[in-house]
Amino acid sequence: MLAKLVFIDTSAWIEYLKKTAHPITKKIELALFLNTAATCQLVLAELIQGARSEKETALIIDLASVAKVLKESESTWQQAGFLANKLRKQGKTLSLIDCYLAILAKENKAVILTLDKHFSIIAEFL
């Protein structure tokens, strides 16, 4: 049986890139070793936005060569909008970007590795 694709969110990548002792770092290392790590262009852009040096930027750009870069479908953004709308109607106003990442992961049958607590709320509505 093939290992499940692991979509690594920005918050998780930050711990990994900082080489912290957080348990999520070991999970990322395992996903990279098993070749099941995934990211997307939006996550890479968020990481680049927070980069403090050219060296950090180069390291972030290099992630695309060690992790699968997920592609969106024609309806990913629309589905993210529907999800955000559904959440809002339930009194939960969450980031459209988080909804997009959740839909992208779902479309690609990936589990999300994150420290962002919003994803546990989103999961209830997927």
Q: Is 112 helix (H, G, I), strand (E, B) or coil?
A: strand
| Domain ranges, residue 18 | 5-123
Which pLDDT does position 92 carry in this prediction? Answer: 85
Which pLDDT does position 126 carry in this prediction? Answer: 67
Which pLDDT does position 124 carry in this prediction? Answer: 65
Which pLDDT does position 46 carry in this prediction? Answer: 95
- The pair phi, psi for residue 114, each rounded to 5°, is -150, 160
Output the tens digit of pLDDT for each of the chain's 126 residues. 456 899 999 999 999 999 999 999 999 999 999 999 999 999 999 999 999 999 999 999 999 999 999 999 999 999 999 999 999 998 987 889 999 999 999 999 999 999 977 766 666 666
Q: Is 88 helix (H, G, I), strand (E, B) or coil?
A: helix
Which pLDDT does position 1 carry in this prediction? Answer: 41
Tokens of 118: 């919003």
Cβ partners under 8 Å of residue 48, min gap 6: 57, 60, 61
CATH of the domain at 112: 3.40.50.1010
Question: Structurally, how many domains does the chain consist of?
Answer: 1
Identity of residue 18? K
Which pLDDT does position 117 carry in this prediction? Answer: 76
Which pLDDT does position 57 carry in this prediction? Answer: 95
